[in-house]
Amino acid sequence: MSRSLAGIIPQRVADADVIVVGAGLAGLVATAELADAGRRVILLEQEPEPWLGGQAFWSFGGLFFINSPEQRRLGVRDSHELATRDWMATAGFDRQEDHWPRKWAEAYLAFAAGEKRSWLHTQGVRFFPVVGWAERRSDRPDGPGNSVPRFHVTWGTGPGVVAPFERRVRDAVARGRIVLKFRQRVDALTTHGGTVDGVRGAVLEASSVERGRPSSRIAIGDFELHAQAVIVTSGGIGGNHDLVRAAWPARLGTPPHQMLTGVPAHVDGRMLAVTETAGGSVINRDRMWHYVEGIQNWNPIWPGHGIRILPGPSSMWFDALGSRLPAPLFPGFDTLGTLAHLRATGYDYSWFVLTQRVIKREFALSGSEQNPDLTNKDIGLLLQRVISKSGPAPVEAFKDHGADFVVANNLGDLVRGMNALTDQPLLDAAKLEHEIAARDQAIFSTATEDAQIQAIRTARGYLGDRLIRVAQPHRLLDPAAGPLIAVRLHILTRKTLGGLQTDLSGRVLGSDGSPLPGVYAAGEVAGFGGGGMHGYRSLEGTFLGGCLFSGRTAGRAAAAILA
Ligand SMILES: Cc1cc2nc3c(=O)[nH]c(=O)nc-3n(C[C@H](O)[C@H](O)[C@H](O)COP(=O)(O)OP(=O)(O)OC[C@H]3O[C@@H](n4cnc5c(N)ncnc54)[C@H](O)[C@@H]3O)c2cc1C
């Protein structure tokens, strides 16, 4: 018999020191840390083995660093203090239960300003030299967003982030420290004398479906395993529209009737309820991060598969009735501010209107499979982005095959095409022309009051944007910049900002605020730490980073307490 964590109550015979539930990034990091500390781990995953890495495999691999060498080389002046100001203004912590989330935010900021980059670098992770400026801050001094570029795309995108941790885990499997078990779905946490001491669940039938597609949920058996601690790293709720709608906050209006899904079906949120049943507390359920620039994937992998455009600032943004979105709701600025505005229009979609010149420079599609040059570390293909007249091949493929794209040589045809995509022809060509012509007239004026044009100029003041990310200012109605392009944009579910409440060691807390013995959580299921370290809004690139930090923290803490 081994001793329980509390050291008082005899425990059932342990199958391992620690059981980790979910082999996404957070689970891999926690497992690797535990194995390196000499612990025996069982890592359970409901999906087949080739899916190791969870959402991170599909991700763009964007990571938030503060004052990195890449930023400094581009002349960006960043600091821990500036990033803290940006984070706190963006998070807007205002609840009593924000105690641990705020502490996690502070700890994460110190990590991102400190050892995060060198820790990854020593494990072989490298970064694209041009730092992106995702979730830009407008010139409102107290507003949300990044006041400087901080989005570092990993060389190799999401798979490049997963690789070193998968390698460490597989090495430890070879050393006999870790046992990987796939197609094992955890349905309950077991408890003994008030301490979580294991898991119970179903063995799912084997599946050979392509990664990311829904796999069978037919159970062919069951299992029960015991350990001194369980770490839950099961991801968020974005693949479960029922849970998203149930938690949708009134401040974002009513939930959309139609949403695209930005995550695979395994992001089902089930483990939240499972951990709650065992006594864990879930907080900030109503905080979530959905995008407003979703497009239907013409070549879908999972059901309702949407891709997020990471846009540059030049596209004009119109609501379903053809009214231009007000400042500062420009492409790539305030995601949730724009979402709240669009929900008030009563329609589930909006429009970008742009030119070929803009799409070539300014459309980045989030996702490893949408960026074969960066994912496959293919420098020849990467150079094509810069020298080719067309956009990157995946963007051009959307232009040719995407259900939301309209391409035309004149505005009349464009608006006819846009109206043909919707149930009712809501757009008036004359109204749109008036708006676009007014913007075009102001584009070269030094005295313009058009805030979006000013934002484009500010962006081009940053070398990285001027080099590859923000198109040279031009008239949208100039045929030489054409053809004209319209893109219908949908709301796309993605990240869960609330979750299991944890202390700074990653221990799951109960409703009375004290640790629930034997159980830890990390990654998206824990709101990336504390039950919501982002608060209401996020600064981008902080989700993968949140998995790295919280997975590492929980793994190290569990390893230490077992010592
Ligand atoms: C297309 C895309 C692009 C993205 N781009 C970025 C980016 O550039 N930067 C950034 O910071 N973030 C990005 N993200 C977000 C980021 O990838 C995720 O937030 C993060 O990877 C979540 O990791 P996780 O380990 O917490 O959960 P997941 O990756 O969801 O892994 C959880 C695992 O647990 C398993 N599981 C769940 N329940 C059970 C159960 N009951 N029993 C057994 N196993 C279970 C699941 O099958 C899954 O494998 C992106 C996400 C997507 C989808």
What does each of the 563 residues of the chain score in pLDDT, given as a tens digit? 344 444 444 557 899 999 999 999 999 999 999 999 999 999 999 999 999 999 999 999 999 999 999 999 999 999 999 999 999 999 999 999 999 999 999 999 999 999 999 999 999 999 999 999 999 998 777 889 999 999 999 999 999 999 999 999 999 999 999 999 999 999 999 999 999 999 999 999 999 999 999 999 999 999 999 999 999 999 999 999 999 999 999 999 999 999 999 999 999 999 999 999 999 999 999 999 999 999 999 999 999 999 999 999 999 999 999 999 999 999 999 999 999 999 999 999 999 999 999 999 999 999 999 999 999 999 988 888 778 878 889 999 999 999 999 999 999 999 999 999 999 999 999 999 999 999 999 999 999 999 999 999 999 999 999 999 999 999 999 999 999 999 999 999 999 999 999 999 999 999 999 999 999 999 999 999 999 999 999 999 999 999 999 999 999 999 999 86
Pocket test for ligand 1, best of 47, 64, 190, 234 (most atoms within 8 A of CB): 234
Which is the closest atom of ligand 1 to the Cα of 60? 8
**In contact, 137 and 65? CB cutoff 8 Å:** no
Q: How far apart are CA 129 and CA 133, in angstroms?
A: 13
Pocket test for ligand 1, best of 528, 544, 549, 550 (most atoms within 8 A of CB): 544
Distance 32 CA to ligand 1 centre (A): 17
Helices (H), 278-424: 335-343, 356-362, 372-375, 379-387, 393-401, 411-420
Distance of CA 420 to the CA centre of its chain: 32
**DSSP for 364-381?**
EE-SGGG-HHHHTT-HHH
Residues with CB under 6 A from ligand 1: 21-27, 44-47, 54-56, 58-62, 185-186, 233-235, 262-263, 266-267, 270-271, 366-367, 495, 523-524, 541-545, 547
Q: How far apart are CA 285 and CA 526, in angstroms?
A: 11
Written as six digits, the tokens of 112 are: 């991102």
Which is the closest atom of ligand 1 to the Cα of 522? 26
Distance 328 CA to ligand 1 centre (A): 31
Q: In the prediction, which pLDDT does 563 show?
A: 60
Which is the closest atom of ligand 1 to the Cα of 62? 8
Q: In the prediction, which pLDDT does 10 show?
A: 56
Written as six digits, the tokens of 297 are: 């994937």
N-to-C CA span, the chain: 16
Strand, helix or coil at 224? strand
* pTM, two decimal places: 0.96
Distance 24 CA to ligand 1 centre (A): 6
Distance 495 CA to ligand 1 centre (A): 9
Pocket test for ligand 1, best of 49, 51, 55 (most atoms within 8 A of CB): 55
Other CB atoms closer than 10 Å to residue 191's CB: what's the count? 16
Q: In the prediction, which pLDDT does 30 show?
A: 98
**In contact, 53 and 154? CB cutoff 8 Å:** no
Q: In the prediction, which pLDDT does 517 show?
A: 97
Q: How far apart are CA 307 and CA 293, in angstroms?
A: 8
Distance 22 CA to ligand 1 centre (A): 9
Residues 6+ apart with CB under 8 A from 124: 163, 164
Bridge partners, residue 493, by sequence = 261
Distance 380 CA to ligand 1 centre (A): 30
Written as six digits, the tokens of 361 are: 């420079």
